Amino acid sequence: MIPDKAPGEDVLHASGDLKKEAHVPSFEKYKELYIRSVESPEEFWGDVAKDFFWKTKYTGKFLDYNFDVTKGEIFVKCMEGATTNICYNVLDRNIYERKLGDKVAFYWEGNEPGDEKTVAYRELLQQVCKFANVLKSQGVKKGDRVSIYMPMVVELVVAMLACARIGAVHSIVFAGFSAESLCERIIDSQCCILITADGFYRGDKLINLKLIADEALQKCRDKSFTVEKCIMLKHLTKEDEAWSGSLSPPAKRACPDLQQEKQKERVRKVRPPPQVPWNPEVDLCWHSLIGGASEECEPVWCDSEDPLFILYTSGSTGKPKFEGLPTYPDVSRMWEIVDKYHISKFYTAPTAIRLLMKYGSEPVQKYKRTSLKILGTVGEPINPEAWQWYYSVVGEKRCPVVDTFWQTETGGHVMTPLPAATPMKPGSATFPFFGVVPAILNESGEELEGPSEGYLVFKQPWPGVMRTVYGNHERFETTYFKKFPGFYVTGDGCRRDKDGYYWITGRIDDMLNVSGHLLSTAEVESALVEHEAVAEAAVVGRPHPVKGESLYCFVTLNDGINYNQKLEGELKKQVREKIGAIATPDYIQNAPSLPKTRSGKIMRRVLRKIACNERDLGDVSTLADSSVIEQLFDNRCCTAV
């Protein structure tokens, strides 16, 4: 599972000053702790649980589960019967027990340089309690679902913690998603209220969030589901007297009139206020509501197995962790922020690293970055070239790179090196995290030993793993446990090398990883086929130097329809509106026929080769009509990257 000793030949041992710090474990200590975590999970996690406040203690087994569908319903239960409140643990204890009320909880950095805010724990608790009282005044109670569709502002955190404080379940929807996607997520979880904002900037691009939210709510009504109230944060349109109820400062650049831009001579520095759509029967102003709310709100004590939040597996990673972009207003923005706040840990996606690599080392080396101790990556496997640039240029070969593997479903990283303890291999997820027992299976479900490649699965749970698919437990069992009874199936391929290092090879099913966002090819194909001109569609991934993968789409049109630029534009628009801008196809190729087996199955392996203009197709003897291949090569899109 993990090697007996730390490998030493083809690995890097960078640790900078970390080895000098007493809390940094050795490889031997890591192995000792890991073995304890998998052989005595109750003892190991019990020690972790001591760091939390528990109103009541658990009554049954510490950790109980069933991963085998042949033995009954799949379940995971941890500390059942114990009660606590996550918001209380995060805020109240830090303030009142640890006396950290004046300690900084967040540094917020907005889109424009100078848009910034420092928030201490005590101030954060006050705002959380006030907004929790706002939610209660709107009838939100324990177990209710609340949809949050907001930009990266401090109020997003306030809304999440306020829900946790009163026992409500928050459902985060990435602010880059379309009205259709937001509507689906609201209906899926039967949300009683929507929290959003007027808009925000991503670089120079204005995102009119309220218009999208209104469209989503109308789509909900059209599907016979009504959300009674929508609370809107004035992020770009705050009046001076209103912003006192907000933790985010007034924006340096207000947003333009959302219907028609006025006063164009003032556009660069000061923008006129927007005309935000407003429905007084549904819409409520965050600032007006919170202004009169009490700063006292007792936490609701929840069972350890009560739901805390709902997250979707697609679109949750790889997005900028600031309000704007990592290249706005220039490509040195990230490193300026590192120096400004003396950041010690920098965590980003391989997509962002590849983007910044394009501009060379000079924008990085303009800044000192001496505060950096650890570099992290997340969201997709990182290619060795990007890893080396990150390690050598950004970290100056003194900062360990923590290349983490995790999924939304796992609730945290499950494969990762430990800084300065586990030697690194560029691109490897290294070793399992505490409590995680990985295995590699072949197609028949047989566990492979030693160097091997196959399906990555996990043998036993840990406290943070997902519990179900909301409202559809059967789907949960089918997706994650049915293929290989007795194992949690990640859906990812994995290779284990001779030293015991794990290498994630990517999604085994038909999923694409575009800029860290996991997209279903079936979902994109469905959006394309909804267009009246399209009879059939197939979507594959094509390597992209920045995004990781790009979408290459093949469409077969209905008889009598001609393919042209106008139709291509309509198809791209259709995908954007149905899924979101992140799913916009990079290439759409007219395909009068698709390569299919005699049973009618599309050979996506062949389509991937065509998308990459690779003529070595392997065995195509099962094709029903091999003449299709040459036709598709002749009609290939011009792919510049």
Q: Is the pLDDT reported for residue 316 higher than 60?
A: no
For residue 340, the one-letter residue type is K
Q: Tokens at residue 610, please?
A: 């065509």
Mean pLDDT calculated for residue range 456-485: 95
Mean pLDDT over the full length of the chain:
87
Strands (E), 67-210: 75-78, 83-84, 104-109, 116-120, 145-149, 169-172, 193-197, 200-202, 205-207
pLDDT of residue 2: 65
Q: What is the CATH number of domain 16-51+324-505?
A: 3.40.50.12780
CB distance 254 to 112 below 8 Å: no
Q: What is the CATH number of domain 515-635?
A: 3.30.300.30
pLDDT of residue 108: 95
Higher pLDDT among residues 632 and 242, named by residue:
632
Kindly give the residue spans of alpha helices, DSSP state H, lying in 2-99.
27-39, 41-49, 86-87
Q: What is the pLDDT of residues 253-275, one digit of tens each?
A: 555 444 343 333 333 334 444 57
Residue 218 sits at φ, ψ, to 5 deg, of: -65, -40
Nearest to 302 by CA among 398, 163, 401, 425: 163
| CA-based max dimension of the chain | 74
CB distance 594 to 554 below 8 Å: yes
The mean-pLDDT minimum among 335-344, 409-418, 460-469, 595-604 falls in 595-604
CB distance 266 to 272 below 8 Å: yes
pLDDT of residue 515: 83
Spans of all domains in the chain: 16-51+324-505, 87-300, 515-635
The mean-pLDDT minimum among 46-60, 255-269, 275-289, 598-612 falls in 255-269
pLDDT of residue 241: 41
Q: Is the pLDDT reported for residue 416 higher than 70?
A: yes
pLDDT of residue 250: 55
pLDDT of residue 17: 56
My answer on whether omega of the bond before 7 falls inside 30° of 0, hence cis, is no
Strands (E), 88-242: 104-109, 116-120, 145-149, 169-172, 193-197, 200-202, 205-207, 229-233
Strand-pairing partners, residue 108, are 117
Domain 16-51+324-505 identical in fold to domain 87-300: yes
Mean pLDDT calculated for residue range 316-330: 63
Strand-pairing partners, residue 94, are none
**C-alpha span between 103 and 91 (Å, rounded):** 11
What residues contact residue 433 under an 8 Å CB cut-off, 6+ apart? Answer: 412, 413, 414, 415, 416
**C-alpha span between 382 and 259 (Å, rounded):** 42
Mean pLDDT calculated for residue range 446-459: 92
Confidence at 8, pLDDT banded by 50, 70, 90: low
CB distance 526 to 506 below 8 Å: no
Q: What is the pLDDT of residues 495-542, one digit of tens each?
A: 899 989 998 877 776 677 788 776 778 778 888 988 989 888 899 999
pLDDT of residue 596: 83
- Percentage of the chain beyond pLDDT 90 is 61
pLDDT of residue 315: 39
Higher pLDDT among residues 248 and 460, named by residue:
460
pLDDT of residue 245: 56
pLDDT of residue 12: 58
pLDDT of residue 265: 31
Q: Tokens at residue 280, please?
A: 């007084």
For strands 511-514 and 502-507, give the pairing.
unpaired
Q: What is the pLDDT of residues 168-215, one digit of tens each?
A: 999 999 887 889 989 999 999 999 999 999 999 988 888 899 999 999
Q: What is the pLDDT of residues 615-626, one digit of tens each?
A: 888 767 667 788
**C-alpha span between 589 and 581 (Å, rounded):** 19
Assign domain 87-300 to its CATH superfamily.
ANL, N-terminal domain (3.40.50.12780)
Q: What is the pLDDT of residues 39-55, one digit of tens each?
A: 999 999 999 999 999 99
Q: Tokens at residue 553, please?
A: 């789409």
Confidence at 158, pLDDT banded by 50, 70, 90: very high
pLDDT of residue 280: 93
Burial of 101 (0-12, 13-18, 19+ CB in 10 A): middle
pLDDT of residue 378: 86
The mean-pLDDT minimum among 277-281, 345-349, 427-431, 590-594 falls in 427-431
Q: Tokens at residue 489, please?
A: 């199936």
Higher pLDDT among residues 101 and 537, named by residue:
101
Confidence at 603, pLDDT banded by 50, 70, 90: confident
CB distance 191 to 145 below 8 Å: yes
Q: Is the pLDDT reported for residue 243 higher than 90?
A: no
Kindly give the residue spans of alpha helices, DSSP state H, lying in 192-263.
209-222
